[in-house]
Structure 1
Amino acid sequence: MLRKRLFITLGLGVSTMLSGGLQAAQVDLSPAVALTSINTTNVADVRVAVEARKWVALDQDQEPGSEARVELNRKASNKRRSVFDITIPGFWMTGKKGDDGQIYQQIEIPGLGSHDELGQPDLPRYKFHLALPFSKGKVSMRGEVQELRRFQDILVWPQSVPELDGEKDTGTPEQFVLDRETYAGKGSWPGTFSPESYEIGKALRGIPAIHGEAWPVQWDPSSRELQVAGKITYILDHDGDEEQFEPITQERFKLAELTFINWEILEPVFGPNLWFYTADYLFIYPDSSYADEIKPLVDQKKARGFKVTEMNVADDIGASTCNTIRTAIQTWEAAIPFSRDAYALLVGDTDVIPHCTSPDGDQTDDSYASTDGDDLNEEIYLGRLSVDSEADLANQVSKILTYEDHPSPFCCYNRAGLWAHKENAPGKYEGAHETVRTFAYADAPIFETFYGSQTGVTDSDVANRVSNGVGVMAYRGHGSSGSTATSWNQTSEYFNGLDVSTLSNPLSRSPVVWSFACTNSKLDENDSIAEKWMELADAGSSSYYGATRTSYTDQNHVLDEWMFRAVYDEGLLTQSHAIERGEAQMAALIGARNAWMYLLLGDPDMKIRTKNPYTITIKIPELIEICKFCELPIQVLDEVGNPLPNALVGLWKPSQRDLPNMEGETWVNGYTDEKGLITLPYSALTEGELYYSVEDGAGNAVFEKIQVVK
């Protein structure tokens, strides 16, 4: 918290003297440009000039730029102890000139993040999550260095106020900051290779965990010696009484596999629920007049197996403030068992459901998703539909349901558009997208590029691609509340509300839009560009992920990269899960502040389509008779008639008086077996409609109904 408050105090006006001992560097430190290793023979000095970048190899067999390897030692690890190794093949060293005229060395280890403490040495660190089989106690940690390399005459670059993207042609450049006490001190910084112990917290909605750090690099400002642990073993002892936990959903289990460094050891403690999907979904809207328009989406969630709760601000909450709405959400979430997932959709603009304020002072919706404090370890998967009227809501719900349940089988979901601002091309924004485009994905999309540096690339090219169909359109560059892209190409065009209004993509081709830019989702302005994409009745986007404030450049680069990796390489197709993964990796590697600013306009349960959909064949009766305590056999087949295993099938039968927050006569779900078969119990006590849903792991879905007759 202290670190965040310092960031707020600094803002953008860094002066000669800053609070907390921070100042523009005034310590008399001479230039440091020579690098020497004392652990090797025949070492030549390496001189790095300002803005020059050089790879310093610790392992000559590894290519320059090779990432640090983090490996769990399975033999030494168990439920009471976790052991992992960090091996560093080398590091990048870049010469940078400070405002004090001194030449500094910025140290970067691929795959590791930064200490991210303003004014302190900008040294690499590794942030990790460790799952635990019990929820109380402490975890001790120590590091045992296997190979230490020492380098002399290094003046380490301090963590400065990072560059901001800005809303026009250029943003706010990085601003130099230095902590005078640290740089005038004696002894290594940090003083140890890791913290000594941790209190146990939670992650992924209740899994006992610690949020740990490993510090394999140290620097002594008095001697200017840099110490790099080429290989270091970390041992964490977590001895305690193992607790019993209900199995978590398969979806959360998949995210946990990617989140916790020791999950393969702890997974038997939690285990995935292989039989049912257990989750709750909360809808909050302004007043009862919105109930009819949101009902089709409510019905879909009930049929998919969600226990649905509806609240409206006027009747159930009482006041349109962050605190009152947040309290209502906290009360709802607290009653949900740990094993169940929790989703929430805010329905309304900021005049009825306002933004909250993050610890950094940013406009945010994330506080609604964090029910146990102001942190980014959120308990709820959250989205918003920023609607202004009942008609607006009906249009947006229609687009969401079309994307999720009735997409065009002849579309374009295997295509992804990369749209970038021209500044500093082929570096910066274009370079960030090239990192995305050239990654070796497990399930790579067909990329199409719209780079503003290229002659002849215009707003019309982007609009035509969206109108003709694309699964994801991702923008990287300068933006504003009124334009997705500002002055982005060779003719300095703005892609604004007028351009959005020209989009003609049919409902079945509305893409997912990610905008890694500034203030696109500043919802308290009338109306932001993100809202315009969503409001377009017969076109536009099916969801929009953007920032409420001016966002940080390097954090956006990492977020861009990891959102694509989460979806196309790690298979996290549920958009809120991909967002959680992308933001967590951004926080671990470069900093977390952008995470507070970003919000999702759309359904957090939506699966991002990465392939063209196919029609699921379902063998199910066309009608059923009134029956109490009966069974319904169902078979699910893929596009060529093969059995479709592990497809989620749900049944929901409302009563004749379908009231909010009532489960109805039937509410059940389960996964198909290897033959695509499942038999679900049901009760149909009255005439009407029995809703059923089917969804496979790729997002191919059916949401239909069976008539119930006497």
Structure 2
Amino acid sequence: MNLLRWSLLLAISASPVLSAEQTAPMAVPGMHVFQSADRDWSMEILDQSPAGLTVEFRLNRLEIQQDGSRHLLFVDGLNTLSTPSLPELPSWSGVFAVPPRAGLGLNVLESDSRVIAGVVPRAAEDWQSDYPGSGLPERRENAQVYGGGHFPARVSSYGEPALWHGVRVVPLDITPFDWNAANDELTVYTRLLVRLDFQGHDTRNTREIDRPLSRLARDIVRPDLQNPAQLDADLRLDPLEQSSLGRYLVVIIDAGIPYLQPWVDWKRQMGYEVTVVAQSELGGTPTFATIKQRVMQEYTDNGLDYLLLVGDYDLTPQLYNLPSNTVQSGQHAEGTWGGDIVSDHEYTLLEGTDYFPEILVGRLSVDSHQQLSTLVTKLVAYEKTPPISQTDNWYRDALMIYDVALAGSRRETKLAVRDLLFADGFAHIDTVHNDYYNNNLSPSIVTNFVNQGVSFVNYRGYGHRYQWVGPEFGVTQIMNDLNNFNAWPVVTSIVCGGGDFGSNQFDPC
């Protein structure tokens, strides 16, 4: 994933200390070629050892376009810094594995640069102005920066280290520019040599549990690393992990175990290790704390990949009821849980102080034996006897949906997800663009795509517990309009209050 941006980049960073002789100022706009190469930029790890790693970044070409009195800077293949009111500049980001307990530090060892005169980068848009009748999003300019300051403050930074499925990782950013607003000069760093030291003073989020990493470290984390060799050096799969697909911990009420058994048998047949913990083993009426304590014990003693919670979480408990954690939700809360909404993510945070998971968690949000039996039948059939011939290639088809109101990043997010799916073997991906205030689409467009057959649906926009807002597709359409029998898609619905299985007003959510 291009998680290549951590949201908080700290002031642990570096600026160039050695610079080759700069050339005379160049004119704009146009394509500026600094060195002949196949790509506009390159990043290479020159060396890596227990003491650290050295990265060489080269910027080969930069395109500058006139945008009124400002300039748009473009480098093919690079992301763009898009903080509202600050200059938009191309930037590279990558995620690196670092030793479990090392201190970290960063220095720029060498740099070559060119100066381009007469450049004023345009400011990033403020999408919060995108209300009905407000016109196009505004581009306010930060007075301190545009009034004569330098931007960015540093050409390379790294974010807070995190533990991700047991792997200690850190995001590294390189923004190879220094814009001087006082004289409208843009210094372009055509070459940067950046050193990430493993013998520094930053010891946040070190790994304290000394046990082999799980398969998730290899299967999920490794593909997103710039330096997978570092992970390979630390990757010691536990002997059982080498012969199984991973470990499940299942928490369920005692009376529900027989109804879940076909799923347990199937998972074991596939090659997973499955441990079932009955509610009575957790004191009869488990709390969030007692469940997490059991999860932590399993993770520490035996290793753990997956947690499955079987049961809903209601204000008025039903037969199946397993507690969850709550998180602040502000204006989007309904008041059921004191203004918060429920979230099982806290169960996955077992090492460090970051929000990256150590395990994967899921919940079968059922209230009765009948609901559980129906869901288990569907899950096992989906994996054991998939309807491959029902709809041609539907397993390799996907649907991206986004609404642009009030946020400019949703389009870019969907395009990034689409690229990841194509890279993973998907053959056909439809993308639905919705503008809630100006061209709100009918929910039938989603219904039609799903009924035709897709294996993955990814939505980002507005929403509630019971439906999306733009297009307004929700529980009503799912219950009444879908006929995609057996062709069940995986749906990721990133909205306010979405997936709130603890909702008292809307059950099911």
Shared fold (TM-score, shorter chain, > 0.5): yes
Q: Give 2:399's aligned amino acid.
A: L
- Cα distance in 1 between the residues matched to 2:246 and 2:424: 29
Residues 94-119 of structure 1, C-alpha deviation per residue, up to 9 Å, x if partnerless?
8889xxxxx76565655555667777
Residues 191-250 of structure 1, C-alpha deviation per residue, up to 9 Å, x if partnerless?
46446xx99x5533323444444443333454443333222222234369xx99876455
Q: What's 1:511 paired with? A: 489
Q: Give 1:347's aligned amino acid.
A: V
1:306, distance to aligned residue in structure 2 (A): 1.7
Distance 1:203 1:183, change over 3 A: same
Q: What's 1:414 paired with? A: 395
Q: What's 2:367 paired with? A: 388
Query: Which sits farther off after the overlay, 274-283 or 178-187?
Result: 178-187
1:466, distance to aligned residue in structure 2 (A): 2.8
Q: What's 2:51 paired with? A: 80
1:381, distance to aligned residue in structure 2 (A): 1.2
TM-score (norm 2): 0.69
- Cα distance in 1 between the residues matched to 2:134 and 2:110: 42
- Alignment partner of 1:306 is 2:269: no
Distance 1:449 1:284, change over 3 A: same
Q: Percent same amino acid among aligned pairs?
A: 19
Alpha-carbon contact 1:370-1:379 (below 8 Å) kept:
yes
Distance 1:254 1:172, change over 3 A: farther
Q: Give 2:52's aligned amino acid.
A: R
Q: What SS class does the counterpart of residue 186 from structure 2 fall into?
A: strand
- Alignment partner of 1:357 is 2:335: no
1:344 to 283, 286, 307: 307
Q: Give 2:451's aligned amino acid.
A: S
Q: What's 2:19 paired with? A: none
Alpha-carbon contact 2:166-2:217 (below 8 Å) kept:
no
Q: Give 1:418's aligned amino acid.
A: L
Distance 1:497 1:135, change over 3 A: closer
Q: Give 1:291's aligned amino acid.
A: I
Q: What's 1:443 paired with? A: 425
- Cα distance in 2 between the residues matched to 1:373 and 1:504: 43
Q: What's 2:226 paired with? A: 261
Question: Which residues in structure 2 correspond to 1:647-666 (within 5 Å)?
Answer: none
1:82, distance to aligned residue in structure 2 (A): 1.7
- Cα distance in 1 between the residues matched to 2:330 and 2:442: 36
2:44 to 66, 71, 87: 71
Q: Give 1:150's aligned amino acid.
A: V
- Alignment partner of 1:234 is 2:200: no
Q: What's 1:294 paired with? A: 260
Q: Give 1:296's aligned amino acid.
A: P
Q: What SS class does the counterpart of residue 252 from structure 1 fall into?
A: helix
Structure 1 alignment gaps of length 5 or more: 6-37, 47-54, 98-102, 489-493, 533-710
Q: Give 2:164's aligned amino acid.
A: L
Q: What SS class does the counterpart of residue 300 from structure 1 fall into?
A: helix
1:258, distance to aligned residue in structure 2 (A): 1.8
Structure 2 alignment gaps of length 5 or more: 1-5, 9-21, 201-207, 315-321, 332-339
- Cα distance in 2 between the residues matched to 1:88 and 1:523: 48
Alpha-carbon contact 1:165-1:518 (below 8 Å) kept:
no
Q: What's 1:138 paired with? A: 103
Distance 1:393 1:478, change over 3 A: same
Q: What's 2:450 paired with? A: 466
Q: What SS class does the counterpart of residue 508 from structure 1 fall into?
A: coil
- Cα distance in 1 between the residues matched to 2:380 and 2:32: 53
- Cα distance in 1 between the residues matched to 2:369 and 2:157: 54
- Cα distance in 1 between the residues matched to 2:463 and 2:395: 26
1:402, distance to aligned residue in structure 2 (A): 1.7
Alpha-carbon contact 1:142-1:194 (below 8 Å) kept:
no
Q: What's 1:401 paired with? A: 380
Alpha-carbon contact 2:450-2:484 (below 8 Å) kept:
no
Alpha-carbon contact 1:402-1:507 (below 8 Å) kept:
no
1:510, distance to aligned residue in structure 2 (A): 1.4
Distance 1:471 1:244, change over 3 A: closer
Q: What's 2:345 paired with? A: 366
Q: What's 2:319 paired with? A: none
- Cα distance in 1 between the residues matched to 2:296 and 2:190: 45
Distance 1:114 1:450, change over 3 A: closer
Distance 1:391 1:89, change over 3 A: farther
Alpha-carbon contact 1:4-1:359 (below 8 Å) kept:
no
Q: Give 1:149's aligned amino acid.
A: R
Alpha-carbon contact 2:461-2:468 (below 8 Å) kept:
no
- Cα distance in 2 between the residues matched to 1:89 and 1:217: 13
- Alignment partner of 1:150 is 2:104: no
Question: Which residues in structure 2 correspond to 1:205-604 (within 5 Å)?
Answer: 205-238=165-198, 248-264=213-229, 267-270=232-235, 275-277=242-244, 279-285=246-252, 287-303=253-269, 304-310=271-277, 312=279, 315-316=282-283, 318=285, 320=287, 325-336=291-302, 340-351=303-314, 352-357=322-327, 363=341, 364-412=343-391, 413-418=394-399, 420=401, 441=423, 443-448=425-430, 459-460=443-444, 462-475=446-459, 477-484=461-468, 486=470, 488=471, 494-503=472-481, 505=483, 508-525=486-503, 531=508
Distance 1:165 1:254, change over 3 A: farther
- Cα distance in 2 between the residues matched to 1:436 and 1:261: 19
- The higher relative CO (CA closer than 8 Å, separation ≥ 6) is in 2
Q: What SS class does the counterpart of residue 370 from structure 2 fall into?
A: helix
Q: What SS class does the counterpart of residue 49 from structure 2 fall into?
A: coil
1:347, distance to aligned residue in structure 2 (A): 3.1
Alpha-carbon contact 2:28-2:118 (below 8 Å) kept:
no
Residues 569-618 of structure 1, C-alpha deviation per residue, up to 9 Å, x if partnerless?
xxxxxxxxxxxxxxxxxxxxxxxxxxxxxxxxxxxxxxxxxxxxxxxxxx
- Cα distance in 1 between the residues matched to 2:184 and 2:290: 53
RMSD of aligned C-alpha atoms? 4.9
Query: Which sits farther off after the overlay, 207-216 or 399-408?
Result: 207-216
Which entry has the higher C-alpha Rg, 1 or 2?
1
